[in-house]
């Protein structure tokens, strides 16, 4: 399964995902329990569900310009008027 328009994730999420995918999840490290849970969730989504990491939301009408300025992509087929659906 893949979703068009999903391009990037935050540097934190990227670093945590890289740690889990590259080093495994059984080693002692300074990662908190919350970070480990987040990383396990990302690992499951990427490896099992074949999803690409990203961020999506339905934007309030007054915020559409802001999300466009962040280079987020509007995916019209997911819009719920008057809310636009953006992915990054």
State pLDDT tens for residues 23-35.
555 555 677 888 8
The span from the CA of 65 to the CA of 36, in Å, is 34
Q: Quick check: 66 pLDDT over 80?
A: yes
| Torsions phi, psi for 38 (to 5 deg) | -60, -45
Q: Domain-by-domain residue ranges, the chain?
A: 1-54, 55-88
| Residue 61 Cα distances to 27, 65, 87, angstroms | 46, 9, 16
Looking at residue 38, its pLDDT comes to 83
Q: In what order do the strands lie in the sheet with 84-87?
A: 56-59, 84-87, 73-74
Lowest model confidence (mean pLDDT) among 18-22, 34-38, 49-53: 18-22
pTM of the entire structure? 0.49
Looking at residue 32, its pLDDT comes to 81
The span from the CA of 66 to the CA of 84, in Å, is 12
Q: What percent of the chain has pLDDT over 90?
A: 35
């Amino acid at each position: 399964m893949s979703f068009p328009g999903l391009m990037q994730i935050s540097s934190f999420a990227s670093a945590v995902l890289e740690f889990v995918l590259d080093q495994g999840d059984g080693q002692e490290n300074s990662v908190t329990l919350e970070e480990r849970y987040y990383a396990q969730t990302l690992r499951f989504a990427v490896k099992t569900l074949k999803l690409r990491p990203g961020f999506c939301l339905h934007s309030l009408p007054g915020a559409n310009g802001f999300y466009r300025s962040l280079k987020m992509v509007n995916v019209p087929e997911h819009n719920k008027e008057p809310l636009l659906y953006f992915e990054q």
